Structure 1
Amino acid sequence: MTFAIVKVSPYRVGGLVVPGAAPGVLGRAADLMTFTLERLRDRGVRDVTVAYVRHPEAGWSAVAGYRCDNIDELVIGDSLVRVSEKYAARFVPDGASPNPCEDLWDQVEAADKRGEITRAFTEEILVLPEHGEADLYVSLG
């Protein structure tokens, strides 16, 4: 297992909303997330950022897209979410699974079960670069 505790500065993510997408690989929104990621790549988004956000009454959703440092970068029709400043556990794939995303979420689950992290269940960020290694930032409580 590979993770480090890091401080995440605030930033914004613009992109497409995936309703019902809870953090993790599997779930009812998995096919919709795959479809959305393909559409983003077709639009030319190379380094995809997925911000999972939880509303107390509506549950989890995600905004899959791109870092949006300036509001003028937001594509017309896309949604925008603000990632707050926080401490997070940053996970990187450790090769235990052939699927890097599955590996990341498996590591989170294992660290949580062993008491190595305490999840805050606020914004959780998955970064899927076109080239290089994916990483995952899990909010800590």
Structure 2
Amino acid sequence: MTYSIVVRSEAVFGGLVVPRVRPSFKVSNGELIEFLRDRLRDRGDTELGDQGDTAAGRPLFTVYVPDPAGNYNVLIGYDYASSDTVPIGDVLARVPKGVYARFEPNGDYHDPVEDVWAQVDDATASAEITRAYREEIEIWRGVSEVELLISILI
């Protein structure tokens, strides 16, 4: 298990949402989440005014956002410069500046998503990190390239 500690600036995300999930590789690899990722890739990047699959090369995000009741909602989408540029009809989430443990696949698992989430479980169980249970972010740089940012307490 290897990870780094990073500070991520505030960000605005827009996209499609699935309510009441528990952050895990099972959710991330779920059929509904995969369907929504494909739909976003297919519709293109409306921020740039393009049609079709023009978002290729631009990272796609899976953002787990907690609600006051302790549930998580997952937003699958892109980051935007401001809330004004999020496409009409998309759900908007603003993630504040925060400290994260950054995980990348290390090859222990065949599935890169399962790999990063297993590393989080190991780091938490061994008390190397203390999760803050705030926003947690998967960054997809391709259909199989992923990194995971876990909010932590410092």
Q: What TM-score do you get using the length of structure 1 for normalisation?
A: 0.91
1:32 positional shift: 1.6
Alignment of 1:111-130 (within 5 A): 111-130=123-142
Q: 1:18–1:36: 8 Å Cα contact kept in structure 2?
A: no
Alignment of 1:36-115 (within 5 A): 36-44=36-44, 45-46=55-56, 47-57=59-69, 59-115=71-127
> Which residue does 1:18 correspond to in 2?
18
1:120 positional shift: 0.4
Q: 1:117–1:140: 8 Å Cα contact kept in structure 2?
A: yes
Coordinate RMSD, CA, aligned: 2.0
- Listed one character per residue, the Cα deviations across residues 3-50 of structure 1 (whole Å, up to 9, x for unaligned) are 0011111111110011123211115x9222122112112123432111
State how far apart, in whole Å, the 2-side matches of 1:106 and 1:34 are.
20
State how far apart, in whole Å, the 1-side matches of 2:2 and 2:146 are.
12
Q: 2:21–2:72: 8 Å Cα contact kept in structure 1?
A: yes
State how far apart, in whole Å, the 2-side matches of 1:73 and 1:52 are.
21
Structure 2, unmatched stretches of 5+, are 45-54
Letter in 1 for 2:4: A
State how far apart, in whole Å, the 2-side matches of 1:61 and 1:88 are.
19
The answer to which of 119-128 and 48-57 deviates more is 48-57
1:134 positional shift: 1.4
Bigger Cα Rg: 2
Matched, 1:8 2:8: yes
1:131 positional shift: 7.2
1:132 positional shift: 7.9
Q: 1:17–1:63: 8 Å Cα contact kept in structure 2?
A: yes
The answer to which of 65-74 and 108-117 deviates more is 65-74
State how far apart, in whole Å, the 2-side matches of 1:102 and 1:20 are.
20
State how far apart, in whole Å, the 2-side matches of 1:84 and 1:116 are.
23
Structure 1, unmatched stretches of 5+, are none
- Listed one character per residue, the Cα deviations across residues 30-72 of structure 1 (whole Å, up to 9, x for unaligned) are 2221221121121234321111011122611111000011233
Identity %: 39
Q: What TM-score do you get using the length of structure 2 for normalisation?
A: 0.84
1:124 positional shift: 0.2
State how far apart, in whole Å, the 2-side matches of 1:104 and 1:5 are.
15
How many residue pairs match? The answer is 141
Letter in 1 for 2:151: S
SS where residue 16 of structure 1 aligns? strand
Q: 1:124–1:139: 8 Å Cα contact kept in structure 2?
A: yes
